[in-house]
Structure 1
């Protein structure tokens, strides 16, 4: 006696069904990643890399909304003398953290896989503090603090400098290859 499979659906027996299942799974994975983009807060004691990035444990974090000079970048002061503005930015971030634990609210990732986050130490927004000190430029939310730093001629605004993005573009991979942390894998 032969069984009839009336009404029984077997979607994965055909090539089309298998491709449809894969497409559905990929769509679900992308949506899950997109919905979880913000992520849970992360905290800990950082290892500062430069004026806008650091490590919290195994996580690489970049401060959202600012762009600080690169570690090897130099700027000129009001008397046209060079000064190590990249190192000054890193040192300012070290001072702001001052052995405190940070709390960071992730808001996605950059093209290098770093977590983009708004971080605070001792209740103070680190991005805001860096821009207000004139040691980072506002990329988004700190326009008022940047304007005040410009008027007061603090930090970078006391002389002339290349925007960090322009400096990176001009120095390319050479600057990254010479960075003190370049020997670490994945950085």
Structure 2
């Protein structure tokens, strides 16, 4: 993660590698040299493909995919770049960087919008 060869997946790591990922991103090494889409973000956006899934989406994932409203995980660094509470929550739950929008760690992103 520190060298940009892997990503911190907060859903499972609970941010254990967030500092190393931030270091790699700031240094623009490995994956951070260019633009890319995290695998879990790609899967969330393409989950409606006709191919059968090996396991069904959980309730939260189904809700997020159905509510994506065309959002992408192109990073928004500030709540001022987001137009609604629903959008902020989608980023919080769907994107690798979304937890950064939850400043006080209470599970609600961009509280000024909500």
Judging by fraction of residues, say which structure has more helix: 2
TM-score (norm 2): 0.34
TM-score (norm 1): 0.22
For the pair shown, the structure with the greater C-alpha radius of gyration is 1
Judging by fraction of residues, say which structure has more strand: 1
